[in-house]
Amino acid sequence: MSSIRPGEPPGALLSIEALRVRFAGSDGAAPVDGVSLTVAPGECLGVVGESGAGKSLSFLAAFGLAPQGAEVSGRVRLGPLDVLGCHERQLDRIRGARVGFVFQDPMTSLTPHRTIGAQLAEAIARHTGLRRRAARERAQGLLERVRLGDAARRMGQYPHELSGGMRQRVMIAIALACEPELLIADEPTTALDVTLQAQILALLAQFKRERRMALVLITHDFAAVAGVADRVAVMRAGRLVESGPVAAVLKRPEDPYTRELLRAASEPPAPASGPASDASPAGAAVLAVSDLAVRFTHAAGLLRRRSFAALEAVTLTLAAGESLGVVGESGCGKSTLTRAALRLIRVHRGRVLWLGRDVSGLTARRLRGMRRDLQLVFQDPLASLDPHLTVERLVGEPLEIHHGELAPDARRERVHAMLARVGLEAALYGRRAHELSGGQCQRVGIARAMVLEPRVLVCDEPLSALDVRAQRQIRLLLEQLRGERGASLLFVSHDLSLVRHLCERALVLYLGRMVELGPTAALFDRPLHPYTRQLIDAIAVPDPDVQPARLAKVSLGEPAAPLERPGGCAFRNRCPHATALCAERAPPWVAGGAHRWVACHHFREWADGMLPE
């Protein structure tokens, strides 16, 4: 089906008719083939489908942002304006002023060497003509509007100094800078934790409601669509297969493909089974950190620097063949922990052991040979891939470094086998990262890490950019790696259902501190810390009768940053059960039952059911 159903709203702000995108020299199917869609003022259209379905490309092509070599045909109207007939100068005036974009990867969309304030002010000045001071005042107001804490200080920071959730809010602020009529949000919650996902979606719903802004939400997440969208369009292989009101499509889907995606999104994964001890014998540990602390510095004036604890007193052990999940909100220290454990950043205090060997004082040269057994899947797939190398070279490079004895044909065969296992077609092997979708880049990053068959695989949000079917495929692949090689998995994720499925144990971090550790099943069934309970309660559900009400209750404020960590219990300002004791001193790390540990003054009252959940 390549046209919308009868009964869709008249008076569309955006109308796309028979949009088709082909690439010069390509003899395959068109990545966008005859797509027709409309969006009315004050309406949200959710566009869903698997990675590579043509979701993002459709809207990039509609506004002159298709990759080089793309041939675009069809009709795109923004009100009465023929967009495809506009020259580049006209498109520059439309993009940013009448149409705002929240791109899929905020880290690569923001200019790394310019401050947040400068980038926001530039967008405002370009489209409004405001002078520098007025533009900066408006920029700070926008950061406050998207609930970015300490907006004045954020203005002077660079993208790499912000967490993923903060960068996403900056992208939304830039997109809203000139009060656009239409906002196109491309995977705005990718790689965000459950509470920040809810906050970003609630924020978009608020802007749509208050300003009658038209919104296009491009996502693979049906729960996001259920919470915000009025209508939904399902795409597959460049074509529109089903569209209609969100309740009708999500509850009574007509197309078999839509039913399959919804089934994959709704089925609860089985809990992981395996070793659940809090600590393994020292001889069996493949990765261990003890009293680990990481400190960062930032500018606190023209000539002053100030340091803060990004990670403090973290101790854990990963056993051979074990899978340990690490969860928590954006900025809690999850990625910092993985990078510190792999010696990718400097450790302020503590010990790091790989395969029983203390590596804290080893040089980079001596570490290089050991890295073959410890591999990392990075959080930002596009930013972590060399833009000059093809997919085949990207995945083959680790073999060249660590297995130089392999003949070129043997190396190529191994690369192709791994690319096939992560679900990438042979036609993509010669492409570069910028020619791939976000999900395809994620698969390349996973293949690159797994091609060495490491003993320890550290995954930092490895499935965040993948649709539900691709997630299942990669999940099975990770399980096979563990089963066949006895590999250990340190799995950082905002998706708590994936952690429950893949990991025997889970560690919960808050503002760089451990707050709960224990068997995953027990942690989900009966959390001992109020923060763990909040994370579990924030898990989205793909039900349009339930999810909008859940988003309406979401607090839109940012959690405290490590720099402003309050005294006593860091969670007390958000905890409904905080007492004077919580403000006086930090809770100790104590045993909370069989193989369970918690940092909460009142966890026994939780366990005894004396405090309401």
Using DSSP's 3-state secondary structure scheme, residue 551 falls into: helix
pLDDT in tens, 107-150: 778 899 999 999 999 989 988 888 989 999 999 998 988 878 78
CB atoms within 10 A of CB 71: 13
Determine the pLDDT at residue 277: 41
Contact 157, 214 (CB under 8 A): no
Banded pLDDT at 466 (limits 50, 70, 90): confident
pLDDT over 70 (residue 559): no
**Can you tell me the mean pLDDT for 58-75?**
91
Closest CA to 6 of 250, 249, 254, 244: 244
Q: What is the radius of gyration, based on Cα positions, of the chain? A: 24
Q: Which structural domains are found in the chain, ordered by start?
A: 1-98+180-267 (3.40.50.300), 285-528 (3.40.50.300)
- DSSP β-ladder status, 305-319 and 323-327: unpaired
Banded pLDDT at 239 (limits 50, 70, 90): very high
pLDDT over 70 (residue 228): yes
* In the chain, % of residues over pLDDT 70: 90
Higher pLDDT residue, 101 or 468? 101
**Can you tell me the mean pLDDT for 311-333?**
90
Determine the pLDDT at residue 191: 60
**Can you tell me the mean pLDDT for 474-494?**
84
Determine the pLDDT at residue 301: 61
* Helix residue ranges, H only, 212-255: 222-228, 246-251
- Return the percent helix, strand and coil in the chain, to nearest 5: 40, 25, 40
* In the chain, % of residues over pLDDT 90: 43
DSSP code per residue over 286-324: EEEEEEEEEEEEEE-SSS-EEEEEEEEEEEEEEETT-EE
| Structure tokens belonging to residue 403 | 């297995």
Contact 343, 299 (CB under 8 A): no
Sign of the C-alpha dihedral, residues 132, 138, 139, 140?
positive
Using DSSP's 3-state secondary structure scheme, residue 361 falls into: coil
The angle at the Cα of 295, spanning 291 to 296, to the nearest 5 degrees, equals 160
pLDDT over 60 (residue 608): no
What is the rounded CA–CA span in Å between residue 590 and residue 582? 15
As a whole number, the mean pLDDT across the chain is 85
- DSSP β-ladder status, 182-186 and 214-219: parallel
Contact 543, 250 (CB under 8 A): yes
Determine the pLDDT at residue 268: 56
pLDDT over 50 (residue 164): yes
- DSSP β-ladder status, 596-598 and 513-519: antiparallel
Determine the pLDDT at residue 216: 96
**Can you tell me the mean pLDDT for 11-32?**
84
- Pick from 190-199, 269-278, 367-376: least confident: 269-278
CA dihedral 228, 39, 265, 433 (to 10 degrees): -110
Determine the pLDDT at residue 272: 55
Q: Residue 100: phi, psi to the nearest 5?
A: -105, 145
pTM comes to 0.77
**Can you tell me the mean pLDDT for 357-385?**
85
DSSP code per residue over 16-41: EEEEEEEETT--S--SEEEEEEEE-T
pLDDT over 60 (residue 276): no
Distances (CA, A) of 123 to 128, 139, 172, 435: 9, 9, 12, 26
**Can you tell me the mean pLDDT for 447-469?**
84
Contact 111, 119 (CB under 8 A): yes
Higher pLDDT residue, 277 or 558? 558
pLDDT over 80 (residue 523): yes
Higher pLDDT residue, 190 or 522? 522
Contact 325, 505 (CB under 8 A): yes
What is the rounded CA–CA span in Å between residue 355 and residue 89? 59
Banded pLDDT at 611 (limits 50, 70, 90): very low
In the sheet where 349-354 sits, what is the strand order? 305-319, 285-299, 349-354, 357-358
pLDDT over 60 (residue 338): yes
- Pick from 145-159, 308-322, 384-398, 536-550: least confident: 536-550
pLDDT over 90 (residue 248): yes
| Structure tokens belonging to residue 280 | 């393994």
